[in-house]
Chain A
Amino acid sequence: MVPLLYFQLLGAALFGIGLYGVLARRSAVLIVLSIELMLNAVNINLIAAASYLNGIGRFDAFDGQIIAIFVITVAAAEVGLAFAIILRMYRNRGTVNVDEINILKW
Chain B
Amino acid sequence: MQLALFIIVAIFTIGGALGVVATRNVVHAALFLLLSLLGAAGAYLLLFAEFLALVQVLIYGGAITIVVLFAVMLTRSSEYPRITDNKQWPLALLTAAALSGVLGAAFWLAPEVVAEPQAPVFSDLAASLFTKWALPFEIASLVLLVALIGAIIIARAQNVDAPTDASSDGEA
Do residues B116 and A1 form an inter-chain contact, with CB atoms below 8 A?
yes
Given the interface pairs A2-B3, A8-B107, A80-B151, the reply to whether A29 lies near B120 with Cβ below 8 Å is no
B82 smallest CB distance to A (angstroms): 9
CA distance A85 to B21 in the complex (A): 22
Contact status A99-B86, CB under 8 Å: yes
Determine whether the beta carbon of B68 is less than 8 Å from that of A83: yes
For A17, the chain B residues whose CB sits under 8 A away are 14, 17-18, 20-21, 96, 100
Tell me if A24 is interfacial: C-beta within 8 Å of chain B: yes
Interface residues on A, range: 35 or more
Known A20-B21, A80-B147; contact A66-B129, beta-carbon cutoff 8 A: yes
Asked if B75 CB lies within 8 Å of chain A CBs, one says yes
Interface residue range, chain B: 35 or more
Interface residues of B in 1-36 (CB under 8 A from A): 2-3, 6, 10, 13-14, 17-18, 20-21, 26, 29-30, 33, 36
Bound complex: CA of A92 vs CA of B155, how far in Å?
11
Please, which residue of chain A has its CB at the minimum distance from the CB of B126? A62
**Residue B161, interface by CB 8 Å:** no
CB within 8 A of A2: which of B2, B36, B92? Answer: B2
Interface positions of A from 38 to 65, Cβ below 8 Å from B: 40, 43-44, 47-48, 50-56, 60-63, 65
In the complex, the answer to whether A66 meets B147 with C-beta atoms within 8 Å is no
Question: Which residues from chain A contact B146 at a C-beta distance below 8 Å?
Answer: 77
A12/B107 in contact, CB under 8 A: yes
Cα distance A55–B136 in the bound complex, in angstroms: 22
CB pair B140 A23 closer than 8 Å: no
Cα–Cα distance between A87 and B151 once the two chains are bound (Å): 10
| Contact A14 to B14, CB < 8 A, known contacts A27-B26, A90-B75 | yes
Given contacts A81-B151, A92-B172, contact A61 B84 (CB under 8 A): no
- In the bound complex, residues from chain A placing their C-beta under 8 Å from that of B60 are 36, 40, 72, 75
Going nearest first, the 4 A-B pairs with the smallest beta carbon separation are: A16-B100, A23-B92, A77-B147, A20-B96
Q: Apart from A4-B115, A65-B52, what 20 extra A-B contacts exist at CB < 8 Å?
A: A5-B107, A9-B104, A11-B103, A14-B17, A25-B85, A30-B29, A32-B68, A34-B21, A36-B33, A43-B52, A47-B44, A51-B49, A65-B51, A68-B52, A69-B55, A69-B129, A72-B56, A78-B147, A80-B148, A84-B151
Q: Provide 23 A-B residue pairs closer than 8 Å at the C-beta atoms, listed in order of the A residue.
A: A9-B104, A14-B13, A15-B99, A15-B103, A17-B17, A19-B95, A24-B89, A29-B68, A29-B72, A43-B52, A47-B43, A47-B49, A51-B117, A52-B116, A62-B124, A66-B133, A69-B129, A72-B60, A79-B67, A81-B150, A84-B152, A87-B74, A87-B75
